[in-house]
Amino acid sequence: MGCVFGREVSGRPVGREERKREEVGRVSKRSEKGEEVVRDGSNSQRVDEEKAEEEEAAAAAAAAAKARAKRRSSRPNPRLSNPPKHVHGEQVAAGWPSWLSIVAGEAISGWTPRRADSFEKIDKIGQGTYSNVYKARDTLSGKIVALKKVRFDNLEPESVKFMAREIKILRRLDHPNVIKLEGLVTSRMSCSLYLVFEYMEHDLAGLAASPAIKFTESQVKCYMHQLLSGLEHCHNRHVLHRDIKGSNLLIDNGGVLKIADFGLASFFDPNHKQPMTSRVVTLWYRPPELLLGATDYGVGVDLWSAGCILAELLAGRPIMPGRTEVEQLHKIFKLCGSPSDEYWKKSKLPHATIFKPQQSYKRCIAETFKDFPPSSLPLIDTLLAIDPVERLTATAALNSEFFTTKPYACDPSSLPKYPPCKEMDAKLRDEEARRA
């Protein structure tokens, strides 16, 4: 058999046995080659697998490095701010109640609470829907302050957020004619919160209601200039007060007027309007669009209230003291005229069909206030425009002829020194007079 495989193959025909032997030899050679191919293939596969593992390991290492770098870059600079996950713990450690830190951490950021026992209450000087106000003495400094106890449910997050909004708004504002928040009183175990303000001896409602006080034109200009200056600042900082009235305009012994009580105030963005409630502003000073259910409004609501204040100071009494919303709208339409058909179509107010007057009223501001200083009438006419767009701005009001015509606004320091007088005092006087 060896000689058969060893000899040269000639061109002659090969017998069956020889062909069989050659076929076996070819198969054997193919098998040997196949084994070599398989061995080579398996080596190649191992190399590929090892290479893939190395690439995967390198990719994983790169991803881990990237994640570490991202964590480092997102970690706040301790010189600039507290790490977010530590803020709550740090605020509680500083003495803030946990419920307040969780819901209103931004409002109290950077502040330390005062202890309740560091103040001594002297007298109750005011009461509102959401708060009581007390005259108190700071036992550490001896300074007289106003403590506003805010009513809310500390177990209800929305109630806490509502209260926190007032704090955030007050911290955003900084103007001589806006009340300044000086601190907060609470403790880790407390369910209440006091806002600390500078003490103001009077409010404009109390002074205006006093029978012994009659404001001169220059004094009215002084108070109105301060009110409009404060509103200008609020509006420039995108804050609507939404409850301008005499009792919220505080006055100190130096004649300085400050806008106070931001419990109903709200932030607003004129470029990205959000629906707001129409259930704001005390009835006598509430503009017609809110009485008609508007939820899209702006600075015009505060300017309407300012117009009511101006006319009230000059008249010596409230100009539209309605008892119900229907009566208030009726008084507005009788003085300021019925809205035009164009206004009804443009405004699309929710209560338009209910409160639209059956008869048409003519605007009669000039006739009603004919005894007012002539320079005041154009400003009152603008501020009490039915269409809020026509009320313009606080800046425009400050530039009106009312303030550029003699007699000019007097300096606050030259105003008379009155005995302490607030709206609450006026109400007590009225009650005593009725009992007598």
Distance of alpha carbon 98 from alpha carbon 137, whole angstroms: 27
202-435: CATH architecture = Orthogonal Bundle (1.10)
pLDDT of residue 306: 98
The residue ranges of every structural domain in the chain are 86-198, 202-435
pLDDT of residue 106: 87
Task: Give yes or no for a contact between 426 and 205, defined as CB atoms under 8 angstroms apart.
Answer: yes
The answer to whether 70 is annotated as binding is: no
pLDDT of residue 64: 60
pLDDT of residue 75: 44
- Give the Cβ contact number of residue 376 at 10 Å: 22
Cα 217 to Cα 241, 316, 406: the distances in Å are 26, 12, 9
Out of 40, 48, 117, 243, pick the active-site residue. Answer: 243
Task: Give yes or no for a contact between 172 and 239, defined as CB atoms under 8 angstroms apart.
Answer: yes
pLDDT of residue 153: 79
> Helix, strand, coil proportions of the chain in percent (round to 5)?
50, 10, 40
Q: Is 109 helix (H, G, I), strand (E, B) or coil?
A: coil
74: left (phi over 0), alpha (psi -120 to 50) or beta: alpha
Fold of 86-198: Phosphorylase Kinase; domain 1 (3.30.200)
411 assigned to active site = no
112-142 as b/e: b if 16+ CB within 10 A: ebbeeeebeeeeebbebebbebbbbbbeeee
pLDDT of residue 67: 54
> What are the backbone dihedrals phi and psi of residue 131, each rounded to the nearest 5 degrees, phi first?
-160, 160
Q: Is 114 helix (H, G, I), strand (E, B) or coil?
A: strand
pLDDT of residue 337: 96
Distance of alpha carbon 21 from alpha carbon 189, whole angstroms: 103
Q: Is 160 helix (H, G, I), strand (E, B) or coil?
A: helix
> Tell me, what amino acid is at 99?
W
Q: Spell out the per-residue pLDDT of the chain, length 436, in tens.
A: 444 333 343 444 444 444 445 554 554 544 444 444 334 444 444 445 455 555 555 665 666 665 555 444 444 333 333 335 578 888 888 889 888 888 888 889 999 999 999 999 999 988 877 789 999 999 999 999 999 998 777 778 888 888 899 999 999 999 999 999 999 998 777 788 999 999 999 999 999 998 889 999 999 999 999 999 999 999 999 999 999 999 999 999 999 999 999 999 999 998 888 999 999 999 999 999 999 999 999 999 999 999 999 999 999 999 999 999 999 999 999 999 998 888 888 888 877 777 777 788 999 999 999 999 999 999 999 999 999 999 999 999 999 999 999 999 999 999 998 887 776 666 655 566 666 5
Residues listed for the chain:
436
